[in-house]
């Protein structure tokens, strides 16, 4: 008697496919870590591991490679930037949640989103051409303004939107009865905000700061342009030094195989730092009990508490005033950066520069338009099915408390936290070298797909979770299966979130520079004819124009085009979100 083989049902097969798509993020993280470690082994074999970590000399000529001064430079710069940018971000978030007039709230939220969307290469251009000369005029240093002060100011502005957004979400999630109870105990609004609501959001604020640290540690292009890449330690405001990321960009172009392996090892150590920060973030995100101190006072209703709050209100009033000052300063900084780039760039725009004939004797953005469209198309073609499929599994098929779901979400967060320079190194050693793609749009597009995948998964999953369960139940009641319900009912309702993820992904692709320098290259003379051709995106062109020192006006013009893209994409996101809210209501 022969056993009868049963084909798996469509539902079972679909669930398996979605689970595989969800597991791709886990595979991607392990592949990046494993292959970078593999590519770093020659460096660790030729140079003792501890000498590589604690050595302070980097000399390709002598074959001696030590990254201790890069580690110190990265640590001190990150500490200074987070201290300044984190403080400003927290005050900005508090102002936005508790003090911002309702009519200004949407506008100011757009300001924060726009700050987050400005490419790092534009921040670098602003720092190099405006901030550093300004610091030279004020402090008269012996160098051109390179060093810790300029880097701290620029990097603090760059990490401010990340910390502000997460802190804002944490403050908004504090139960409203905390505020009402504080007022019932005799607190003023300022006292309730700073002594009750802000402490209740402590874990969220700490998470925001840790994410800000991760952004600062991994920042590459802006830092590389203004850090100075000196051989010293950052013991002064104007002492050129080197970070882990700037060391890679500075030396890769002329590195021999031995130095390339050492630079990959540099990136691997940076990756370990980022992974450690992600583990720390995971520990901070563990559920915590509420504000026990306040809850106890709320229950007791001790009259002495009212008197103590009233006696100590002046400090909170000062914090209230300071939050208004910081909010105004942040808005001014954004407007100034945008205006500076537009004033310098728009006069240098022309039809020939934007769309003119390409060739060796011409400088035109036509190749950048074509290559950017090709990169966007390829990256979305790969990442969109992977991301939407993973989100469907996480929200529609996985059971609550499933360990596999926790693992997938952990690795999605890890993938989102990996710096773009690490993606660039991985793309170089894996796609460009190991798989033989060479510098090409194909190598860059696949690398970009890995970068934007977490954005698509998160946004799509969030949108799916907002679809009412009643719609699913109605579909099941009419006889539809799980798979049909997902595609005919749930996904159409979540389309606004998917479109938002696509727009955000396009913004990330347009803004990306570090990863593309290592995978696509910077050839900008001719329009690419296929995905095997090298090319230069807009962000890479800004870096290239600035690097040769002869095309500063072209750099400004290209940066202004980038800012136009950022503004348009932010408006599109707002429009799609408004349409989604209107559709749900």
Inter-helix orientation angle 148-172/68-94, to 10°: 40
pLDDT at 380 over 90: yes
pLDDT for the residue 585: 63
For residue 301, the model assigns a pLDDT of: 47
547 CB neighbour count, 10 Å cutoff = 13
Res 310: pLDDT: 47
User: Rounded to 5 degrees, what angle do the CA atoms 22, 24, 25 make?
Assistant: 85
- Categorize the per-residue pLDDT at 584 as very low, low, confident or very high, splitting at 50, 70 and 90: low
Q: Confidence band (pLDDT; 50, 70, 90) for 288?
A: very low
Average pLDDT over residues 316-324: 87
Q: What is the pLDDT of residue 8?
A: 63
Judged by average pLDDT, the poorest of 149-163, 270-284, 408-422, 497-511 is: 270-284
Contacts of 497 (CB under 8 A, 6+ apart): 459, 460, 462, 463, 464, 466, 580
* Cα 558 to Cα 334, 376, 439, 561, 567, distances in angstroms: 18, 18, 22, 5, 15
Pick from 50-64, 121-135, 313-327 the range whose average pLDDT is largest.
Answer: 121-135
Cα–Cα distance, 580 to 585 (Å, whole number): 9
Cα–Cα separations (whole angstroms), residue 91 to 208, 213, 269: 13, 17, 33
Q: Does position 69 have pLDDT exceeding 80, yes or no? A: yes
pLDDT at 356 over 80: no
Provide mean pLDDT across the span 3-25.
Answer: 79
Residue 56 has pLDDT above 70, yes or no: yes
Query: How much is the average pLDDT of 440-446?
Result: 95
Separation CA 475–CA 82 (nearest Å) = 49
Percent of the chain scored above 90 by pLDDT? 39
Please give the average per-residue pLDDT across 113-141, as a whole number: 91
164-173, 284-293, 357-366, 572-581: lowest mean pLDDT where?
A: 284-293
Residues in the chain: 585
Check residues 306 and 208 and name the one with the higher pLDDT. Answer: 208
What are the CA-CA distances from residue 274 to residues 101, 268, 408, 413 (Å)? 37, 10, 18, 11
Reference 219, options 252, 246, 237; nearest CA is 246
Rounded mean pLDDT, 469-484? 86
Mean pLDDT of the chain: 86
Phi and psi at 438, nearest 5°, equal 65, 180
The CA–CA distances, whole Å, from 150 to 121, 164, 221, 274 equal 15, 22, 14, 24
Q: 504-508: long-range contacts (C-beta < 8 A, 24 or more apart)?
A: 504/452, 504/455, 504/459, 504/569, 504/573, 505/379, 505/380, 505/383, 505/452, 505/455, 505/456, 506/376, 506/380, 506/569, 507/117, 507/565, 507/566, 507/569, 507/570, 508/448, 508/451, 508/452, 508/455
- 405-441 pLDDT, tens digit per residue, is 888 988 998 898 899 999 999 999 999 999 999 999 9
Structural domains in the chain plus CATH codes: 12-46+349-585 (1.10.3720.10), 55-343 (1.10.3720.10)
């Amino acid at each position: 008697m022969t056993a009868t083989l049963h084909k798996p049902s469509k539902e079972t097969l679909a669930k398996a496919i979605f689970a595989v798509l969800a597991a791709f993020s886990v595979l991607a993280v392990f592949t990046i870590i494993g292959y970078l470690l593999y590519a770093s082994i020659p460096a660790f074999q030729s140079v003792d591991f501890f000498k590589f970590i604690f050595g302070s000399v980097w000399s390709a000529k002598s074959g001696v490679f030590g990254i201790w001064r890069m580690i110190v430079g990265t640590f001190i710069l990150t500490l200074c930037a987070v201290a300044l940018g984190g403080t400003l971000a927290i005050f900005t978030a508090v102002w936005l949640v508790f003090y911002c007039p309702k009519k200004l709230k949407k506008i100011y939220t757009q300001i924060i989103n726009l700050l987050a969307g400005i490419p790092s290469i534009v921040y670098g251009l602003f720092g190099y051409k405006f901030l550093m000369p300004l610091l030279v005029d004020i402090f008269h240093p012996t160098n051109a303004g390179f060093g810790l002060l300029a880097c701290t100011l620029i990097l603090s502005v760059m990490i401010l939107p990340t910390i502000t957004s997460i802190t804002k979400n944490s403050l908004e999630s504090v139960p409203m009865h905390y505020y009402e109870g504080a007022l019932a105990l005799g607190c003023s609004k300022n006292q309730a905000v700073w002594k009750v609501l802000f402490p209740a959001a402590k874990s969220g604020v700490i998470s925001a700061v840790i994410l800000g640290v991760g952004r600062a540690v991994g920042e590459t292009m802006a830092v590389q342009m203004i850090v100075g890449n000196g051989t010293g330690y950052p013991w002064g405001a104007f002492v050129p030094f080197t970070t882990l990321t700037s060391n890679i960009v500075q030396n890769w172009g002329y590195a021999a195989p031995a130095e390339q392996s050492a630079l990959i090892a540099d990136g691997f150590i940076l990756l370990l730092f980022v992974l450690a920060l992600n583990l720390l973030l995971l520990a901070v995100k563990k559920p915590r009990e509420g504000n026990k101190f306040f809850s106890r006072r709320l229950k007791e209703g001790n009259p002495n508490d009212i008197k103590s709050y009233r006696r100590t209100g002046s400090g909170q009033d000062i914090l209230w005033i300071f939050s208004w000052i910081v909010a105004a300063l942040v808005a001014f900084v954004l407007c100034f950066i945008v205006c500076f780039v537009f004033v310098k760039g728009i006069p240098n725009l022309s039809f020939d520069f934007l769309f003119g004939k390409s060739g060796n004797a011409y400088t035109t953005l036509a190749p950048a338009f074509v290559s950017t469209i090709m990169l966007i198309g390829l990256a979305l073609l790969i990442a969109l099915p992977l991301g939407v499929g993973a989100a469907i599994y996480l929200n529609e098929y996985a059971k609550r408390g499933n360990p596999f779901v926790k693992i997938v979400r952990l690795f999605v967060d890890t993938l989102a936290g990996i710096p773009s320079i690490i993606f660039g190194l991985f793309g170089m050693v894996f796609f460009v070298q190991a798989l033989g793609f060479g510098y090409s749009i194909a190598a860059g597009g696949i690398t970009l797909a890995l970068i934007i995948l977490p954005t698509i998964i998160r946004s799509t999953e969030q949108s799916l979770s907002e679809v009412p369960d009643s719609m699913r139940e109605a579909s099941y009641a009419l006889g539809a299966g799980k798979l049909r319900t997902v595609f005919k009912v749930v996904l159409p309702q979540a389309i606004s979130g998917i479109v938002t993820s696509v727009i955000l992904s396009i913004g990330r692709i347009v803004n990306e520079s570090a990863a593309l320098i290592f995978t696509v290259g910077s050839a900008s003379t001719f329009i690419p004819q296929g995905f095997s051709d090298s090319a230069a995106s807009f962000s890479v062109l800004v870096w290239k124009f600035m690097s040769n020192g002869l095309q500063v006006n072209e750099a400004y013009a290209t940066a202004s085009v980038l800012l136009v893209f950022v503004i348009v994409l932010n408006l599109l996101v707002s429009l799609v979100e408004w349409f989604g809210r209107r559709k749900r209501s």
